[in-house]
Structure 1
Amino acid sequence: MNFLKKFEQKMNRFAIGGIINYVCAMLAMGTVLYLVAPGFLNYLILNPIAIMQGQVWRILTFFVYPPAFTGGNPMGYILFNALAIYCIRSFGTIVEQVWGKFRFNCYIILGVLLNVAASLFMYLVVGFPMVLTPVYLVYSFFFVFALMFPDMQVLLMMVLPLKAKWIAYAEAAVYIYYFVKGDIYTRVQIFVCILHMFIFFGWMVLAGETGYKQKKRQKDFQKKIKPMVSNKTGHKCAVCGRTDKDSPGMEFRYCSKCEGSYEYCMDHLYTHQHVKKPDSPQ
């Protein structure tokens, strides 16, 4: 709808670029605090009783919470959280580059507000002081990535190559299991996460352009360039100059936003500056 596009254009200048870096910094802070000062962490997490008493900063510090728990070994706890934060940042960065900073800002802010609303609702209406965490919100970045690029190959645990859609299916099965077997805290957080994605993707569909219409255009473009890619004798990244001979396992693809036949490796496909004639690739 036009008014959604106009609103986005008007508010885009206020969006925070690279907001995923701030999110991951807070996750890392929570990981460290849990080890060295777990008591202080209790002053930052989302607590509806404390918010009603005036501690509104908890809304801003919502992401100060470890994204992974292993129990027992501190070294294993640090390694798993470091890996989780790395994956969250990687997928979040790609989603932001595809959507643009404004929509990605809105996705994160909406997720925080829905969690705050659910926490306050459970306390004020049901009388249950529910402390919610950002774990399912930050892991939803991967579901969003899988919806946009289901056939893209990713490395599970940085070792096993799998298509994004299969990892998303497995994670969805885990969510269903925890929703059925988990406690009230887990069920509310999963429900909020699913509601969040439905609301946001509904907006994307209404706004058009970078929603499912763009996904269809991307698929059509990939079909058009597939014969051209298969007929080439080699691949070369227009940014770093890397070839398929230098990196046999690396994928190379063309960018639909660049004017001309410019090919990029997966390290630069989403990070390069788009070429506009008569510019040269940068």
Structure 2
Amino acid sequence: MDAFLNRLENRFGRLATPGLVRYLALFFLGVYLLGAFQPDLEKALQFDLVKIMQGEVWRVITFIFAAKASSGFSPMGLLFMVFATMLLFTYGDALEQEWGVFRCNLYVFWGYISALLASLGFQLLTGYPPPGAALLLGFSIFFAFATIHPKFTILLFFILPVQIWILAAILGGLVLMQSLTHPLIFAFNALCLSNFFFAVVPRAIMGAKNRQYSASRRRKYMKSSVSTDDAFHRCSVCGATEISHPDHHFRSKDGKEYCQDHLDKVE
């Protein structure tokens, strides 16, 4: 997979856009702010296959920016959106630093294509416009960041310090609960988050296994490299010490020490 991505990057890397997640976050915020003056704006941007077929083709792109999670404009809603925008800036910058600009772009583009296909399939099967595809794209970025930097801490409500993996676990649980309400919702959410499941989760599992293996090798090395010269007890017959044989007992006689296997020398 890495070799394939490297070939893609060598060929198309010049097309990558630095700060793509920042632009996405600003569009989220912009749509929310414009919605304060034009309440029907979000509806005009959402995915609706019927209206797309009638000529409103912009919805194929703009639906990904219609991610307003609350109903209506409010000061608290604005504060939340500003805070979410700042966090997306942080997440995007961190992912670009971890993966590189091209692969971060590819991750976002994968999320967009998945959301588009999921939205199309949902409306074809139900006849209704799909729910929340744009939010799930934001969630996929959040989950990726939380997986790579689980100990990153934010101030919840600007007061309570919480590690990001805890918030990701809570949000993931809520998404799972919603997914279990209907098989179609499950399929929709899974497809929208496929970039996370296929690009991030396998690497995280492999990384955890590698860290566990490295830690095991390090422990074995440290154990084998412990010098017996620092031993306090040493059997004068076989040379056993409390380091090499931690379960042995030692006794002394005439200035010499003997382990439990050679205690007959003491008697």
- Deviations along 1:39-58, one digit per CA (max 9) or x if unpaired, are 23322222222223343322
**What one-letter code is carried by the residue in structure 2 that aligns with 1:190?**
N
- Asked if 1:100 is matched to 2:100, the reply is yes
Residues 48 and 131 in structure 1, CA contact (< 8 A), matched pair in contact too: no
Q: Which moved more, 1:47-56 or 1:142-151?
A: 47-56
**What one-letter code is carried by the residue in structure 1 that aligns with 2:115?**
N
Find the residue that maps to 2:56 and give its secondary structure: coil
Q: How many angstroms does 1:164 deviate by?
A: 2.3
- Asked if 1:47 is matched to 2:60, the reply is no
The size of the alignment, in residue pairs, is 213
The CA distance in 2 between the partners of 1:72 and 1:44, in whole Å, is 15
Aligned to 2:39: 38
- Deviations along 1:49-97, one digit per CA (max 9) or x if unpaired, are 222334332222233324431x577212211222222222222221122
Q: How many angstroms does 1:23 deviate by?
A: 0.4
The CA distance in 2 between the partners of 1:163 and 1:139, in whole Å, is 16
Aligned to 2:232: none
- Asked if 1:77 is matched to 2:44, the reply is no
**What one-letter code is carried by the residue in structure 2 that aligns with 1:113?**
I
**What one-letter code is carried by the residue in structure 2 that aligns with 1:165?**
W
The CA distance in 2 between the partners of 1:18 and 1:72, in whole Å, is 29
The CA distance in 2 between the partners of 1:152 and 1:76, in whole Å, is 24
**What one-letter code is carried by the residue in structure 1 that aligns with 2:80?**
F
Large movers: runs of 4+ above 4 Å: 181-184, 186-189, 210-217
Distance 1:173 1:41, change over 3 A: closer
Distance 1:73 1:30, change over 3 A: closer
Find the residue that maps to 1:162 and give its secondary structure: strand
**What one-letter code is carried by the residue in structure 2 that aligns with 1:24?**
A
The CA distance in 1 between the partners of 2:159 and 2:140, in whole Å, is 21
Find the residue that maps to 2:155 and give its secondary structure: strand
Q: How many angstroms does 1:182 deviate by?
A: 7.9
The CA distance in 2 between the partners of 1:89 and 1:58, in whole Å, is 25
- Asked if 1:112 is matched to 2:112, the reply is yes
- Asked if 1:193 is matched to 2:192, the reply is yes
- Deviations along 1:222-245, one digit per CA (max 9) or x if unpaired, are xx9xxxxxxxxxxxxxxxxxxxxx
**What one-letter code is carried by the residue in structure 1 that aligns with 2:108?**
I
- Asked if 1:156 is matched to 2:156, the reply is yes
Distance 1:31 1:155, change over 3 A: same
Aligned to 2:23: 22
Residues 62 and 112 in structure 1, CA contact (< 8 A), matched pair in contact too: no
Aligned to 1:129: 128
Residues 49 and 129 in structure 1, CA contact (< 8 A), matched pair in contact too: no
Residues 115 and 132 in structure 1, CA contact (< 8 A), matched pair in contact too: no
Q: How many angstroms does 1:161 deviate by?
A: 1.7
**More helix, by proportion:** 2
Find the residue that maps to 1:95 and give its secondary structure: helix
Distance 1:37 1:187, change over 3 A: farther
Find the residue that maps to 2:154 and give its secondary structure: strand
Distance 1:122 1:73, change over 3 A: closer
The CA distance in 2 between the partners of 1:62 and 1:215, in whole Å, is 39
Distance 1:181 1:212, change over 3 A: same
Gaps of 5+ in 1: 225-282
Find the residue that maps to 1:158 and give its secondary structure: coil
Residues 123 and 129 in structure 1, CA contact (< 8 A), matched pair in contact too: yes
Aligned to 1:147: 147
The CA distance in 1 between the partners of 2:84 and 2:191, in whole Å, is 21
**TM-score where L is the length of structure 2:** 0.67
- Deviations along 1:163-217, one digit per CA (max 9) or x if unpaired, are 2222222222222222235896x65553233323123337x85xxxx99559958
- Asked if 1:167 is matched to 2:167, the reply is yes
The CA distance in 2 between the partners of 1:77 and 1:194, in whole Å, is 25
- Deviations along 1:8-61, one digit per CA (max 9) or x if unpaired, are 222111111111121012101211232211223322222222223343322222
**What one-letter code is carried by the residue in structure 1 that aligns with 2:149?**
F
Root-mean-square deviation (CA), in Å? 3.3
Aligned to 2:225: none
Q: How many angstroms does 1:147 deviate by?
A: 1.1
The CA distance in 2 between the partners of 1:117 and 1:147, in whole Å, is 25
